Amino acid sequence: MELQIIDYQPEYQPYFEKFNKAWLEEYFTVEPLDKWVLEQPDEAIINKGGKIYFVTSGTTIIGTVALRFIEDDVYELTKMAVDHAYRGTGAGQFLCRAGIEKAREMGVKKLILYSNRVLENAIHIYHKLGFTEIPLLPGTYGRADIMMEINFEH
């Protein structure tokens, strides 16, 4: 399976929403912040200096990841999701690696993410790709029980 990263286009918003809502509803609930970001990604991410990417297999969009602007030099790796039919194909790891590379290319100094320890495969991938656990800043997501970062300056 040949995977490729493509940039966000407004017509891809339904994929962004569908893939993310599917896994959120499977494991947690869709929180108000999620709902806004997924339904209004231009307003929530793109217009605030963030980026959204998709992974394709052939002509099929199979997953997505976003880089959300937090503050100068700090972005959040967020809204990473793969279509259920393509889980276990390496697409998630490919997406995560691409998100890290895009952040590096943008000159981001620190890339953070929030997750939950129940998502063992995701946590494993994050560690493998260079994220380290840091103290959790509460409040962003009710479901988050772990926070991780890559500090590109070290």
pTM of the model: 0.95
Residues 6+ apart with CB under 8 A from 136: 114, 144, 145, 146, 147
Q: How many whole angstroms separate alpha carbon 8 and alpha carbon 64?
A: 9
pLDDT tens over the chain, length 154 residues: 899 999 999 999 999 999 999 999 999 999 999 999 999 999 999 999 999 999 999 999 999 999 999 999 999 999 999 999 999 999 999 999 999 999 999 999 999 999 999 999 899 999 999 999 999 988 888 999 999 999 999 7
Identify the structural domains of the chain with CATH numbers, from first to last. 3-151 (3.40.630.30)
Decide the pairing of beta strands 60-71 and 74-82.
antiparallel
Q: Which one-letter amino acid corresponds to residue 147?
A: M
Q: Judge contact between 12 and 54, C-beta under 8 A.
A: yes
